[in-house]
Amino acid sequence: DTEVTQTPKHLVMGMTNKKSLKCEQHMGHRAMYWYKQKAKKPPELMFVYSYEKLSINESVPSRFSPECPNSSLLNLHLHALQPEDSALYLCASSQDSLPEQFFGPGTRLTVL
């Protein structure tokens, strides 16, 4: 299985809602990533997990809360988001020693 899956594909939420994005891979990769991508812009790194531990937080606001329950699963918990947080959220994974990243299809998030 060489696929990274993300659910849901689309999400619309209000500013007071709590929701979660889910990412899963079964390639045995030990590094997993969350990116945010606005239209016509490159992906911006948010978080990196290495061996299930948070290793990089790119100064992301606390309304975004990542979680890595096990080596195959990565969640992003969302709470009290702002309309400017609307974007495509991409998950990726990689073998710890190799730079190539495998991306999921993304979750299109709209905050009303």
Partner 1 sequence: SQQGEEDPQALSIQEGENATMNCSYKTSINNLQWYRQNSGRGLVHLILIRSNEREKHSGRLRVTLDTSKKSSSLLITASRAADTASYFCATDEEGAQKLVFGQGTRLTINP
DSSP labels, 47-90: EEEETTEEEEE-S--TTEEEEEEETTEEEEEEES--GGG-EEEE
C-beta atoms surrounding 22 within 10 Å: 16
Nearest residue (CB) to partner 1, 42 versus 69: 42
Least Cβ distance, residue 16 to partner 1 (angstroms):
27
Cβ neighbours for 59, distance < 8 A, ≥ 6 positions apart: none
- Pick the closer one to partner 1 by CB: 75 or 80: 75
Spell out, one character per residue from 71 to 100, where the chain touches partner 1: x when CB under 8 A holds, - when not. -----------------x-x-x------xx
Per CB under 8 A, residues contacting partner 1 are 4, 6, 31, 33, 40-45, 48, 50, 55-56, 88, 90, 92, 99-106, 108
